[in-house]
A and B are shown apart, each in its own frame.
Chain A
Amino acid sequence: GAVVSQHPSRVICKSGTSVKIECRSLDFQATTMFWYRQFPKQSLMLMATSNEGSKATYEQGVEKDKFLINHASLTLSTLTVTSAHPEDSSFYICSAYTATAGNTIYFGEGSWLTVV
């Protein structure tokens, strides 16, 4: 299947700072990427949908000014958690859509964020 890579896989940051997570589609062009958050023992919660070259669409309850999403190219989307708080500590996962391979969505490995 297609490969989606996230970086970093783990990051620790101090409260009040910002941290950026990258999501790359390595062997295909992704017109649409999705960002999820997952707390321990819970399911994935969709945060936002991003289309290349346009503003992201955020799910209800997700603060767009806190979770900045940029999808500047067909192979890269970034999620920036601004003014991080300990409650932002979570597992963040991106996914990318490709029209090839049966319109399947592929997921990255996920990024663990710990805010101290």
Chain B
Amino acid sequence: DAKTTQPPSMDCAEGRAANLPCNHSTISGNEYVYWYRQIHSQGPQYIIHGLKNNETNEMASLIITEDRKSSTLILPHATLRDTAVYYCIVRVNSGGSNYKLTFGKGTLLTVNP
């Protein structure tokens, strides 16, 4: 799987949008971009994923650049509960065992009151 680069930490004010960047310049054409987050002492929580089109769900929006070499996860109205480590992962989307996710260090997002 392609490697990703994320800033180690970010801060955001409560109620404001949190924009978390991720670089994946070596992504292959068949690799998706996945975002997970991990709140302290819990298992990772799935947020969103996409291939090339922008995606939105009830939790967040995912913006993928046209060349697919980077993406941004947007939490539109951050709350204190959104404080967590956010992981950007790229992987292929087929093949059973190939689904394994390789985690980097992620971005620690701290939402401040």
A44→B34 CA distance, assembly (Å): 15
Interface of B is mostly: loop
User: Residues of A within 8 Å of B, CB-based: how many?
Assistant: 28
In the complex the two chains form, is A104's CB within 8 Å of B43's CB? Answer: no
**B residues neighboring A (CB under 8 Å):** 34, 36, 38, 41-46, 49, 87, 93-94, 96-97, 99-106
Which chain A residues border B100 with CB–CB below 8 Å? 34, 46, 49
Which chain B residues border A93 with CB–CB below 8 Å? 43-44
The 3 closest A-B pairs by CB, nearest first: A107-B43, A44-B103, A110-B43
Interface bits A40-63 vs B (CB < 8 Å: 1, else 0): 000111100101000001000000
Contact with A104, one of B41, B46, B97 (Cβ below 8 angstroms): B46
In the complex, residue of chain B having the shortest beta-carbon distance to the beta carbon of A110? B43
A28 in the interface, Cβ–Cβ < 8 Å? no
A99→B97 CA distance, assembly (Å): 12
